[in-house]
Homo-oligomer: A and B are copies of this chain.
Amino acid sequence: MAFRIRPVDTTFYDLFTASAQHLVVGAGLLAEMLADGADREAVAQRMREAEHQADETTHEIVRRVNSTFVTPFDREDIYALASGLDDVMDFMDEAVDEILLYEVKEIPAGVSKLVEVLQQCAEVTAAAMPKLQSMKDLAEYWIEVNRLENSGDKIFRRTLAELFSGDFKALEVLKLKDIIESLESGIDGFETVANIVEQIAVKES
Interface residues of A (CB under 8 A from B): 62, 66, 97, 101-103, 157, 160-161, 164, 166, 169-171, 173-175, 177, 199, 202-203
Contact = CB atoms under 8 A, between A and B. Distances in A.
A64 to B, nearest CB: 12
Contacts of A161: 101-102
Count of this chain's copies in the oligomeric assembly = 3
A169 B169 CA distance: 11
Given A102-B161, A170-B174, A173-B174, 17 more contacts: A62-B199, A66-B202, A66-B203, A97-B157, A101-B157, A101-B161, A101-B164, A102-B164, A103-B164, A164-B171, A164-B174, A164-B175, A166-B171, A169-B170, A170-B170, A174-B174, A174-B177
Contacts of A202: 66
Contacts of A160: 101
A193 to B, nearest CB: 16
A190 B194 CA distance: 26
A205 B97 CA distance: 38
A65 B203 CA distance: 10
Nearest to A98: B160
A171 B171 contact: no
Contacts of A177: 174
Nearest to A174: B173
A166 B170 CA distance: 11
A174 B203 CA distance: 43
